[in-house]
A and B are shown apart, each in its own frame.
Chain A
Amino acid sequence: MRTPPYLVSTRTRTSTFGAIAAACLVVVAIVLPAFAGRGLIQDLFFIFTMLVLAQFWNLLAGYGGLVSVGQQAFVGFGAYMLFGSVILWGLNPIAALLLSGVGALLLAIPTAFFAFRLQGAYFAIGTWVVAEVARLVVAQWRSVGGGTGTSMPREAREVMWGVTWIQSVFDVRDSAARDILAYWLALALLVATIGGIYWLLRTKRGLALAAVRDNMEAAKSVGVDAARMKWMVFLIAAFGTGLAGGLIFLQNGRISPDSAFSVIDWTAFVIFIVVIGGIGTIEGPIIGVLVFFALQTLFADYGSWYLIALGGIGIVIMLFAPRGLWGLISDKSGIQLFPIRRRLSGGKLADRSKPSREE
């Protein structure tokens, strides 16, 4: 049988290895609540949700070229959709999570409509203005506590799906069972996020996205609809960010406009995670979130010094290693765990060298 003249592939040997390792890690993470204490589960919940936010910001800024400083709009609005639908309509909190994503998606449509009128850096502040508007409007919403916020009603917590099952299987109290449930949901969201983004970047649309980022005019000239790509990325990121926001405040149990729309917590930290780890790669935010968590564990007691250090590290990385820690590792070792570069094999190339294994 004739082999096709050319073969385009992205997979490398390390990435196959990485995929197997990742699958093992996910299995371990699923069964972890059986062995781990509540503190570790809560830490991992924090890491997973921050990583989800970081991956979506990275998709926006690193791949879509859309530097948003207003992602807290979607975290906050998603979280408020959850609390609103639980408190006002008595929805089950787990079902209401979906509304977090949908609500953020709906907010993203007018946001994009306004913010896309602004170019480059002004887009960044434009998204910030929308986030402020969302915060100020939500603070007027009396039935979810107005400016002071509110708590998840006790009845709603008690009816959450799966909690009694977790209680009986792991023999834990209901509060610990809710943490385990939130942890599993965060894990599922994380796997879906990384898997989904990786899949997207390897499709034709992902190629178009990279083309738009690298040179918009050139991409347009070969038929890529740049405006549509930006809309797509912005809406996907809003949906995922809203889901994460809903989940974070479901686990938190308490919400207020200032915490839900916090630019430091949901945008500044996320930006530092991506920049420190390496923007424009899937591996970068993973490294970044681990560094971020380590710094936070070690230095959180020092209050503002911790933030000064984080900001300082971000500046130094941007000045001297703009591709972040993963960029340094990847340059030295050539390792790519989630390769998206298309490499050509087969055809005339194959005549000169040995046919590669993919054939």
Chain B
Amino acid sequence: MIWVDTIVQGILLGGLYALFAAGLSLVFGIMRLVNLAHGDLIVLAAYLLLVIVSMLGLNPFVAALVAMPVMFAIGYGLQRFVLNRVLGADILPPLLVTFGLSVVIQNVLQEGFSADSRRIPAGTLETASLPIGPVTVGLMPLLTLLSAIGVILALQWLFYRTSLGRAFRATSDDPVTAGLMGIKPQRVFAQATGIAMVVVTIAALYLGTRSNFDPTIGPARLIYAFEAVIIGGLGSLWGTLAGGIIIGVAQTLGAAINPEWQILAGHLAFLLVLLVRPRGLFPRAND
């Protein structure tokens, strides 16, 4: 029975990793950009939520609604004024710029909020749980997984049912031709990064309420997100969810055997998938 419990907890944890990964997957899918500062942007959003919650005394979920437009603007501006300049055939400039950004964000947060670990207070929700069949699950972890599914459904709808989504897909396929049809790729990219930052805000909400965070934890979140994307297969959002769940289950199983093996088990699961299915479990994109 303990194993069933461990696996259920792992699946729920996977929801959090899928949320980390969804923004990364979205941006990569549209502009082939890998943002090395993605994890640090999640942490930045978590601090933004912390400030809103503690200054305005809002519920974290309401605070997330306030933070979303702010993060959208940050993402839009970042893409418009910085990242658009370095997009191109050469992968080096975007990698190095986002790597520099990662270091800058970490240290700005360190300067502003000190290295102490913090947590967003969520009141009684933090400890609430409900029994499902033989296992008891925490309400927050359950909400995380449901939010991850909700985010993926919303992104799918956005991609395949709206004109903005059509512009995303067109620009992803061929920016030059899309430009001839009156789409401005630069603006489309900025909107995509803005939306990715809205997803990042949702990820930050659960990161910050479920566990402690400090300015240095961003890179590790980036790595989990990246592993989820690769395991799922590039370009597949449902694959990303599956990838997140695989990492989550591997981590909780590893931790059940030896607490020191939690993170290592997640990485090993990733390497194993890379070994047997180099293009991921559900590959869609051709690049």
Question: Which residues of A does B touch, CB under 8 Å?
Answer: 61, 65, 67, 69, 114, 117-122, 124-126, 128-130, 132-133, 136-137, 139-140, 263-264, 268, 271-272, 275, 279, 303-305, 307-308, 310-312, 314-315, 318-319, 322
B92 in contact with A61 (CB, 8 Å): yes
B223 in contact with A311 (CB, 8 Å): no
Instruction: Name the CB-closest residue of B to A116.
Output: B278
Distance to closest chain B CB from A256 (angstroms): 15
Distance to closest chain A CB from B171 (angstroms): 18
B222 in contact with A136 (CB, 8 Å): no
Compute how far the CA of A138 lies from the CA of B103 in the bound complex, rounded to whole angstroms.
25
| A279 touching B92 in the complex, CB below 8 Å, given contacts A121-B34, A124-B34 | yes
A133 in contact with B268 (CB, 8 Å): yes
B34 in contact with A315 (CB, 8 Å): no
Compute how far the CA of A132 lies from the CA of B274 in the bound complex, rounded to whole angstroms.
16
Which residues from B are CB-within-8-Å of A140?
260
Compute how far the CA of A272 lies from the CA of B104 in the bound complex, rounded to whole angstroms.
12
Distance to closest chain A CB from B20 (angstroms): 13
| A315 touching B104 in the complex, CB below 8 Å, given contacts A69-B36, A118-B230, A129-B227 | yes
Compute how far the CA of A119 lies from the CA of B280 in the bound complex, rounded to whole angstroms.
13
A67 in contact with B92 (CB, 8 Å): yes
Which residues from A are CB-within-8-Å of B108?
304, 308
A129 in contact with B95 (CB, 8 Å): no
A114 in contact with B271 (CB, 8 Å): yes
| A312 touching B100 in the complex, CB below 8 Å, given contacts A133-B267, A319-B82, A319-B86 | yes
Compute how far the CA of A69 lies from the CA of B39 in the bound complex, rounded to whole angstroms.
15
Within B80-111, which residues are at the interface with A (CB < 8 Å)?
Answer: 82, 85-86, 91-97, 99-104, 106-108, 110-111
Instruction: Name the CB-closest residue of B to A305.
Output: B111
Compute how far the CA of A118 lies from the CA of B91 in the bound complex, rounded to whole angstroms.
13
Does B287 sit at the interface, judged by CB under 8 A? yes
A307 in contact with B103 (CB, 8 Å): yes
Does B168 sit at the interface, judged by CB under 8 A? no
Distance to closest chain B CB from A262 (angstroms): 11
Instruction: Name the CB-closest residue of B to A137.
Output: B264
Distance to closest chain A CB from B33 (angstroms): 8
Distance to closest chain A CB from B40 (angstroms): 11
Distance to closest chain A CB from B261 (angstroms): 8
| A315 touching B271 in the complex, CB below 8 Å, given contacts A125-B34, A125-B223, A133-B264 | no
Compute how far the CA of A47 lies from the CA of B23 in the bound complex, rounded to whole angstroms.
39
- Kindly list 4 other residue pairs between chains A and B, CB separation below 8 angstroms, not including A118-B230, A322-B93: A268-B103, A311-B104, A318-B86, A319-B93
Does B248 sit at the interface, judged by CB under 8 A? no
B95 in contact with A117 (CB, 8 Å): no
Does B4 sit at the interface, judged by CB under 8 A? no
Distance to closest chain B CB from A226 (angstroms): 16
Does B219 sit at the interface, judged by CB under 8 A? yes
Compute how far the CA of A275 lies from the CA of B92 in the bound complex, rounded to whole angstroms.
10
Does B76 sit at the interface, judged by CB under 8 A? no
Q: Mark B213-251, 1 if CB is under 8 A from A, else 0.
A: 000000110110011001000000000000000000000
A122 in contact with B230 (CB, 8 Å): yes
**B97, B100, B107, B110: which has the most chain A beta carbons within 10 Å?**
B100
Compute how far the CA of A323 lies from the CA of B32 in the bound complex, rounded to whole angstroms.
23
Does B275 sit at the interface, judged by CB under 8 A? yes
B278 in contact with A117 (CB, 8 Å): yes
Which residues from B are CB-within-8-Å of A319?
82, 85-86, 93, 97
Instruction: Name the CB-closest residue of B to A113.
Output: B275
Which residues from A are CB-within-8-Å of B92?
61, 65, 67, 279
**B34, B92, B97, B110: which has the most chain A beta carbons within 10 Å?**
B92
Distance to closest chain A CB from B166 (angstroms): 26
Which residues from B are CB-within-8-Å of A118?
230, 274
Which residues from A are CB-within-8-Å of B85?
319
Distance to closest chain B CB from A73 (angstroms): 12
Compute how far the CA of A331 lies from the CA of B18 in the bound complex, rounded to whole angstroms.
47
Which residues from B are CB-within-8-Å of A272?
100
A315 in contact with B36 (CB, 8 Å): no
A271 in contact with B34 (CB, 8 Å): no
Point out the residue from A124, A133, A139, A307 that lies within 8 Å of B36, measured CB to CB.
A124
8 contacts between A and B (CB under 8 A): A61-B92, A124-B36, A125-B36, A130-B271, A311-B104, A314-B99, A314-B100, A318-B96
A311 in contact with B103 (CB, 8 Å): yes
Instruction: Name the CB-closest residue of A to B110.
Output: A304
Compute how far the CA of A133 lies from the CA of B96 in the bound complex, rounded to whole angstroms.
23
B99 in contact with A307 (CB, 8 Å): no
B111 in contact with A304 (CB, 8 Å): yes
Does B17 sit at the interface, judged by CB under 8 A? no
B104 in contact with A117 (CB, 8 Å): no
